[in-house]
Amino acid sequence: MKSLQLDKPHAIVMVGIPGSGKTYFAHKFAEMFNAPYIEQAALDRHALNSESSHELVRIMLHEVLKTKKSIVIEVNTDTRAARTDLTRDLKKAGYAPLFVWVQVDAETAQLRSVKQGILNPEDHERITKRFSPPQPNEHALVISGKHTYATQARIVLKKLTAPRAAAAPDRPPVPPRGQIIVR
């Protein structure tokens, strides 16, 4: 698939409970936009502890934001406070954040995360209870973790390209067939 380029840098930020499909969609979006992808779980596996992982994410994000290229981010966005802090940093760097909330029922999410060996059932339940869904004023784009990538990608592309259509120069209305407009 040919990669797409956006006219201004976007930060596609994945949100959802473990096992919802965030990582799957994040990989696909990064591939589609040929964008860097910062995944906290990958850094967690190599860091000494959660503080080290958080610091690595902060350093990487700071450096990647300097490029002014679109980016895909899958970091700790479980709470509104975390999303607010991330939004502030992204906007300060000139990015348009787009929170993509991948939704799936709790049973499917738990089955996926346990089957893939990501979490045990108790940890999955604990993390899911801690999750704070995006509020309406966060303008999160909701996609389904149970539908195909192609159908969900269209939703994201439509959202990302909508401002471009709105920013098109005003053109005179096209008269219906057979009518002449005199100016």
DSSP 114: H
Q: Supply the pTM of this predicted model.
A: 0.81
User: Per the domain annotation, does 3 fall within a domain?
Assistant: no
pLDDT in tens, 103-116: 999 999 999 998 98
From residue 169, how far is each of 29, 158, 164, 165 by CA, in Å? Answer: 29, 19, 10, 9
The domain that holds 30 is classified in CATH as 3.40.50.300
Rounded Cα gap, residues 20 and 111, in angstroms: 10
Say how many domains are in the chain: 1
User: Per the domain annotation, does 175 fall within a domain?
Assistant: no
Q: Quote the domain boundaries for residue 22.
A: 10-166
User: Per the domain annotation, does 172 fall within a domain?
Assistant: no
DSSP 144: E
Burial class (CB in 10 A: 0-12, 13-18, 19+), 177: exposed
pLDDT in tens, 146-165: 999 999 999 998 998 875 54
